[in-house]
Amino acid sequence: MAALAFLWCAAAPAGGQQPSGPAQGAQQAESCVACHQALDDERLSSPVASFAADVHAVKGLGCAACHGGDPQAFGPEAMDPAKGFIGRPARREIPQLCGRCHSDAAFMRRYNPSLRVDQVTEYRTSVHGRRLVQFNDPRVATCVSCHRVHAIRPPTDPQSSVHPLKVARTCGACHADSVRMAPYGIPTDQLRRYETSVHWEMMSVKHDLAAPTCNDCHGNHGAAPPGVSWVGNTCGQCHTVMQRLFDQSPHGRVFPQMGVPGCAACHRNHDVQHAGDELLGLGAAAVCSGCHDAESRGGEQAVAMRRLIDSLRVDFDSADGLLRRAERSGVEVSQGLFELQEARNALVGARTAVHASSVDAVRAETEKGFSITARARARGGRALGELRFRRTGLVISVTIILALIVGLVLKIRQLESSSLSQRESP
């Protein structure tokens, strides 16, 4: 296949070879643009408008860079096949057409030295690429399906169809279309599921562009679903600690043998939700009960782990509530709150240790947490003691004031009755 591409390139006459630079590109744009933008046919005139924003145009590569022909000539002479004009390329040829430049490291170095040059190679390993080559499947994605044709923008451009926020929709344009995907027999609910996931929420709501979208798990140009036995590696690109623990756990050994897809077995794949404590144990929303029942050793371990984490969380909340109640009443508790934050570390550590499927691992974390919450609760108790001190002080001072008021009232009466009788007495 690569040989074919090479031959095709070699056969192309001068006009179709790689352009030599921006100056020639600007001139090339002139003649094609001049005719095509005046045409009535929408299909022939719209590329001119959209190409203005294209990254290739910006770099000085014009119409002839891809379509061939002679941009200095006018009229039909410009579109002479003898000068390399290929018109609208066939679907099957598109990867080779793009790859003429994008797979040439020496050439790409002139425009974008850090850009990779193996996209076409990767693409040929993907499901899309293989179906295109083997069956000339008209429905599979080629370069222009995702990157668009004449308004290609770099992925960092928010308007690009392959900007991280746009990738899911771009893939979903085909993969969520049940009519289009009917012959393949694969689900079309991935986009819908993904948009309910915590990964999408991180990206769309919290604006964390590092969150995964389709290409982060499935690959970019070499797109394929992860194999069952290496789902963990995919998730582990970010969730390293969990993956390491999981691989050493009983589940990590057994799942690949059983053909269970690792992380996705409990956390799902496209609609990954925020993992709360309710996933652990044998409760209603728990995932452990899918395989383990209450009598099994696995079930017992799950319940035990859940109980440890729950009690630490309850302890933490009660210590925190105690300290904050004291704080609201104006008592100094910053040292206590500071120390309590380390218990949050323990809680996070315990929830991570769950992936080792070992009660001992979880207990090691929760023990640390319990000692911290106990100390914090003691501080909270002392802080509330301060509150009691204030109330006591208040009672004492108000008592004194009331006694003084009574004394004054009596004094007033005494003075006025004595002055009254002084006036009345002879």
Partner 1 sequence: MNQDARGAPASRRRFLDWLLGTTIGGLVVSVLYPVVRYIVPPPASESAASSVTLPFTAQEVAPNTGRIFKFGSRPGILVRTPSGELRAFGATCTHLGCIVQYRPDLGHVWCACHNGHFDLNGRNIAGPPPAPLEVFAVHERGDQIVVGKGT
Partner 2 sequence: MSLGSLRQRFTALGPWLESRLGLAGLWAVARKKDVPVHRHTLWYYLGGMTLFLFVIQIGTGVLLLFYYRPSAEEAFESVQFLMAEVQFGWLIRSIHAWAANLMIFTLFLHFFSALLLRAYRAPRELTWLSGMGLLGLALGFGFTGYLLPWNELAYFATRVGTQIVGVVPVAGDFFLRVLRGGEEVSGATLTRFYAIHVALLPASGLAIVGLHLYLVQKHGMSVPPGVERSGTALPRMRFFPNFLLRDLVGWLAALAILAALAAFLPAELGKKADPFTSAPAGIRPEWYFMFMFQTLKLLPAHILGLEGEMVGVVGFGLAAVFLLVLPFVDRPGQGGRLQPVFTWIGIGIIVFVIVLTYIGYTVSPTK
Q: For residue 385, what are the contacts with CB-CB under 8 A and spacing of at least 6?
A: none
Work out whether 23 is an interface residue with partner 1 (CB under 8 A). no
How many other β-carbons are positioned within 10 Å of the β-carbon of residue 301? 20
Name the segment binding partner 2 (CB under 8 A); options: 163-171, 207-215, 310-318, 403-411: 403-411
| Vertex 135: Cα angle to 134 and 138 (nearest 5) | 130
User: Which residue, 318, 305, 298, is CA-closest to 380?
Assistant: 318
Residue 75: CA count within 13 A, CB half-sphere = 0
Work out which of 130, 342, 375, 384 binds partner 1, going by CB under 8 A: 342
Query: Considering beta carbons, is residue 136 or 341 the nearer one to partner 1?
Result: 341
Work out whether 178 is an interface residue with partner 1 (CB under 8 A). no
Q: Which residues from 350-379 bind partner 1, rule CB under 8 A? A: 352
Q: Which does 49 bind (CB under 5 to 8 A by kind): partner 1, partner 2, none?
A: none
Q: Identity (one letter) of the amino acid at 373?
A: T
Work out whether 294 is an interface residue with partner 2 (CB under 8 A). no
Report how far residue 109's alpha carbon sits from residue 385's, in angstroms, rounded to the nearest whole number: 72
| Vertex 291: Cα angle to 285 and 292 (nearest 5) | 85
207: left (phi over 0), alpha (psi -120 to 50) or beta: left
Work out whether 397 is an interface residue with partner 1 (CB under 8 A). yes
Query: Considering beta carbons, is residue 161 or 373 the nearer one to partner 1?
Result: 373
Q: Identity (one letter) of the amino acid at 233?
A: N
Report how far residue 415's alpha carbon sits from residue 405's, in angstroms, rounded to the nearest whole number: 15
Which secondary-structure segment (H or E) carries 139? none
Query: In angstroms, what is the minimal distance from the CB of 78 to partner 2?
Result: 57
Report how far residue 132's alpha carbon sits from residue 284's, in angstroms, rounded to the nearest whole number: 46
Work out whether 412 is an interface residue with partner 2 (CB under 8 A). yes
What are the structure tokens assigned to 121, written together?
């190679």
Total number of residues that touch partner 1 (CB under 8 A): 38
Query: Considering beta carbons, is residue 43 or 274 the nearer one to partner 1?
Result: 274
Q: Which does 249 bind (CB under 5 to 8 A by kind): partner 2, partner 1, none?
A: none
Report how far residue 204's alpha carbon sits from residue 207's, in angstroms, rounded to the nearest whole number: 5
- Residues 402, 394: contact at Cβ < 8 Å? no
DSSP state of 159: T
Query: Considering beta carbons, is residue 178 or 417 the nearer one to partner 2?
Result: 417
DSSP state of 249: S
Name the segment binding partner 1 (CB under 8 A); options: 39-47, 214-222, 375-383, 403-411: 403-411
Work out whether 420 is an interface residue with partner 2 (CB under 8 A). no
Work out whether 410 is an interface residue with partner 1 (CB under 8 A). yes
Residue 29: CA count within 13 A, CB half-sphere = 19
Q: Which does 412 bind (CB under 5 to 8 A by kind): partner 1, partner 2, none?
A: partner 2
Query: In angstroms, what is the minimal distance from the CB of 196 to partner 1?
Result: 21
Burial of 51 (0-12, 13-18, 19+ CB in 10 A): buried
Total number of residues that touch partner 2 (CB under 8 A): 22
Name the segment binding partner 1 (CB under 8 A); options: 79-87, 233-241, 250-258, 356-364: 233-241
Q: Which does 39 bind (CB under 5 to 8 A by kind): partner 1, partner 2, none?
A: none
Sketch the per residue contact string, 319 through 338, with partner 1: x for CB under 8 A, - otherwise. Answer: ---------------xx-xx
Work out whether 394 is an interface residue with partner 2 (CB under 8 A). yes
Work out whether 417 is an interface residue with partner 1 (CB under 8 A). yes
Work out whether 238 is an interface residue with partner 1 (CB under 8 A). yes
User: Residues interacting with partner 1, by CB under 8 A?
Assistant: 208, 210, 238-241, 334-335, 337-338, 341-342, 344-345, 348-349, 352, 393, 396-397, 400-401, 403-404, 406-408, 410-411, 413-414, 417-422, 425
